[in-house]
Amino acid sequence: MQTPVQVDFQDVDATGRFHEIITENVADLERRYGRITACRVAIRGPGQHRQTGGLHEVSIQLDLPNGREVNISRTPKLDERRSDLLFAINDAFKRARRILQDRVRRMQGKVKQHEGQPVGTVLKIGHNGEFGIIEAADGPNVYFHRNSVLNNQFDKIGVGTRVVYVEQAGDKGSQASTVKRLGKHKMR
């Protein structure tokens, strides 16, 4: 780490023991994930706050390279174990490990990205008003039946309407099992 750990105790009798425990936890985070450039820890004692219910609050801010930050801060759940300062510190660093692990996975591209539903434009409505054809953005046209349109909105769909759909293989090619009309502000 480029700077020493900054610890701020508020309404807590700070002993060297707690500062050592915090320093050890930060060192563990660095061993696991590396390249933490700065760390600030704020510990608030039970004090007179009604929100915390007489429990300790621990906030951690980790600075990472390229200006990235990880902030671990929240009002503690009403868990009587958080009245013990050691438990509160260890619980906060446990959350920090989980959050930092998720952040590192995302930065390394190891998180599975889910694709959104395909978006298409209604190309044609059948002359009998029972089916339509969606022009897919990246593939063959997709057939849909009036019963596959959500919320009984088939009559509100016309040529040129933007829709999202769920595609599946049918007997005669691609067909949409579910079609949903996009509103004016969702013109992806």
pLDDT in tens, 77-130: 666 777 788 888 888 899 888 888 887 777 677 766 666 778 889 999 988 889
The single-letter code of the amino acid at 69 is E
99 with 135, same domain? no
Q: Are residues 76 and 150 in the same domain?
A: no
If asked whether residues 168 and 129 sit together in one domain, one would say yes
At 188, the pLDDT band (50, 70, 90 cuts) reads very low
Of 170 and 152, the structure prediction assigns the larger pLDDT to 152
Same structural domain for residues 139 and 88?
A: no
Total domain count for the chain? Answer: 2
The residue with greater pLDDT, 74 or 18, is: 18
User: Tokens standing for 17?
Assistant: 């023991």
Query: Does residue 78 share a domain with residue 127?
Result: no
Residue at which a domain ends, from 107, 137, 152? 107
CATH number, domain with residue 12: 3.30.160.100
Domain with 52, as residue range(s), is 6-107
Could you say which DSSP state residue 65 is in?
G
In this prediction, residue 14 carries a pLDDT of 72
3-state helix, strand, coil in the chain (%, to 5): 30, 30, 40
In a domain, 11, yes or no: yes
Cα–Cα distance for residue pair 30/51, rounded to 1 Å: 32
- Residue 130: which CATH number? 2.40.50.140
User: What pLDDT, in 10s, does the model give residues 162-185?
Assistant: 999 988 887 877 888 899 998 765
What is the pTM for the complete model shown?
A: 0.54
- 113 in a structural domain: no
Contacts of residues 14-18 at CB distance under 8 Å and 24 or more positions apart, as own/partner, are 14/43, 18/43, 18/85, 18/86, 18/89
